Structure 1
């Protein structure tokens, strides 16, 4: 097998993989699934932080999280609004949700780490 074939085989495997989204609908579904995965992780780290808090801090985190979710959702609706009516709009919305959720996960993990000291 030549060096050329070593490049072509991974290339073909990548494009023949059924999990590779090729249509807009598949890309939208993949983006939504990625957001759901990030949201599940957010819930996990949120519960970890809640378990570390005292009774005075818990209501503060609950309110902060409600406010953050409201911001995230509003921001992503705004972000996707420029694509109103287009088939890409759900992809933009879900991708925004995922990105902001991952940032929030990092923030909560930092709070957990600070409290573990």
Structure 2
């Protein structure tokens, strides 16, 4: 029986750790988990602002090195709509009257998806191959 309980605890811990690997906002949520809802919301809003600034800087850095940034510009505009609509969907079950929880969840979603896009743009910056978008 003890072995079964231990196995269940181990499995639960492993699954939780795996979930955090895909939640790119996890460290921000952990950092912002101190204080009341208003304090946590401000913290997460600031974390999103910083994450979005990092994204913008990478996007500009990539645009500078491309021969023609039209495709990236179109992709980024489409991605922004995707991010916004995805996060709107993810928080659609929350009552907007509970503005504190709604704002927290929306910022967490925006951070998560933006961090993933940052990873993609970093990868694009590292590309140096035949068939990759042209560089100046």
TM-score (norm 2): 0.66
**Two-structure CA RMSD over aligned residues (Å):** 1.8
CA deviation after TM superposition for structure 1 residue 115, in Å: 3.3
Determine the structure 1 residue equivalent to 2:71.
60
Alpha-carbon separation, structure 2, partners of 1:103 and 1:40 = 14
The 5 Å alignment of 1:2-81 reads: 21-55=34-68, 58-81=69-92
CA deviation after TM superposition for structure 1 residue 20, in Å: 6.7
Alpha-carbon separation, structure 2, partners of 1:60 and 1:82 = 35
1:94 and 2:104 matched: no
Q: Aligned residues, how many? A: 97
Alpha-carbon separation, structure 2, partners of 1:63 and 1:23 = 40
Tell me, what secondary structure is at the counterpart of 1:45? helix
After superposition, give the CA deviation of every residue in 1:61-96 in whole Å (9 maximum; x if it has no partner): 001000000000011111112112223110000010
Alpha-carbon separation, structure 2, partners of 1:20 and 1:72 = 24
TM-score (norm 1): 0.77
**Structure 2 unaligned spans of 5+:** 1-31, 130-136
- Runs of 4+ residues deviating >4 angstroms: none
